[in-house]
């Protein structure tokens, strides 16, 4: 199966009584990447000069039985009845609108095909604005790529015509970190809240200095952060400005870190998201010197730390 990696990667397997034609599977419409794979066979598949009347496929953007996108998998023969006849599989990417099929692209596969009524696997991978199609009886190989955006509907379905047997199905996604790290704050609301806050921790904290082991960690930027209470005894560190690595991906008010209270005053467990939005070690921690208005973020595994100084904002009248 094509593999995807990164933050918030999830994989769900479908098995047991769920399997069969009509199986509905969940998709994350906000994901950056997704892969759907199924291994299926048609118990009543037939050899035919015109191609088998039976077919199966994977549908996405499923609205109803008359509107969805899908991959159609159908067997055929190169020279039916001839001694040189070979079994083939025809894979077509199709848009169904109002019950009418429109073929986007199609490919004929001539190798790594199961015997008639045997199991074949298909995987669909949405990545960087393309749909990549993989096929194989034993090993998945890329057979087709078409320009197609990630599914916008959260429902997919196994479709087909015939006695369909499903050995397994799996959906794997990588969530969009911009969605995962969204805080719900707007810039105006954030600054208004901070300007009128009586919580000494809340405020704008700007990069002050650092001690880093450049062999273990690279500075992602000279960040400006907003610190606001999370309502659960801890605080959110929200990105304001200063990213230098992957700067275009960071937007104001995205979550850059979380501070969770410990038994020690002015000391917090730190969950920090690095420049590519991956979470760092669970051993990270933060300490606050309120007299000096300094916040120190410590990354012991990386033998590094950053310090931030607090700015003063005027209260609005």
Q: Compute how many other C-beta atoms are within 10 angstroms of the C-beta atom of residue 147.
A: 9
Please check whether residue 230 is in contact with residue 219, taking contact to mean a CB–CB distance below 8 angstroms: no
Task: Tell me the three state secondary structure of residue 191.
Answer: helix
User: pLDDT band for position 8 (50/70/90)?
Assistant: low
pLDDT tens sequence across 41-83: 999 998 877 678 999 999 999 999 999 999 999 998 887 767 7
Please state, for a pLDDT cut of 70, what percent of the chain lies above it.
94
Placement of tokens 């159609």 in the chain: 72
Domains and CATH numbers, the chain: 9-176 (2.60.120.200), 181-310 (2.40.128)
Please check whether residue 94 is in contact with residue 72, taking contact to mean a CB–CB distance below 8 angstroms: yes
Angle at 14 between CA 12 and CA 16, to 5 degrees: 145
Whole-number Å distance between alpha carbons of 195 and 197? 6
Instruction: Kindly state the average pLDDT of the residues 143-147.
Output: 97
CA atoms within 13 Å, Cβ hemisphere of 199: 17
Instruction: Kindly state the average pLDDT of the residues 80-88.
Output: 79
pLDDT for 4 equals 34
Task: Tell me the three state secondary structure of residue 16.
Answer: helix
User: pLDDT band for position 37 (50/70/90)?
Assistant: very high
């Amino acid at each position: 199966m094509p593999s995807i990696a990164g933050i918030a990667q999830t994989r769900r397997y479908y098995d047991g009584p769920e399997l069969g034609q009509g199986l509905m599977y969940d998709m994350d419409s906000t994901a950056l990447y997704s892969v759907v794979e199924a291994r299926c066979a048609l118990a009543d598949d037939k050899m035919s000069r015109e191609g088998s009347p039976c077919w199966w496929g994977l549908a996405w953007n499923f609205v109803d039985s008359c509107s969805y996108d899908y991959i159609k998998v159908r067997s055929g023969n190169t020279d039916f009845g001839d001694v040189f006849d070979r079994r083939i599989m025809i894979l077509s990417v199709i848009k169904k609108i109002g019950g009418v099929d429109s073929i986007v692209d199609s490919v004929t596969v001539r190798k790594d095909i199961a015997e008639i009524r045997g199991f074949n696997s298909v995987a669909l991978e949405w990545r960087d604005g393309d749909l990549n199609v993989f096929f194989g009886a034993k090993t998945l190989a890329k057979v087709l790529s078409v320009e197609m955006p990630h599914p916008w509907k959260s429902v997919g379905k196994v479709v087909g015509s015939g006695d369909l047997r499903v050995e397994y199905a799996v959906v794997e996604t990588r969530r969009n970190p911009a969605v995962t790290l969204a805080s719900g704050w707007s810039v105006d609301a954030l600054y208004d809240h901070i300007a009128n806050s009586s919580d000494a921790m809340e405020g704008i904290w700007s990069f002050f200095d650092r001690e880093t082991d450049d062999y273990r960690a690279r500075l992602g930027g000279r960040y400006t952060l907003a610190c606001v209470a999370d309502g659960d005894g801890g605080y959110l560190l929200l990105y304001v400005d200063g990213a230098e690595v992957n700067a275009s991906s960071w937007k104001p008010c995205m979550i850059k870190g979380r501070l969770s209270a410990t038994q020690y005053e002015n000391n917090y467990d730190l969950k920090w998201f690095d420049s590519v939005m991956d979470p760092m070690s669970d051993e990270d921690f933060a300490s606050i010197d309120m007299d000096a208005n300094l916040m120190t973020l410590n990354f012991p595994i990386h033998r590094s730390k950053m310090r931030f100084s607090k700015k003063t904002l005027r209260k609005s009248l």
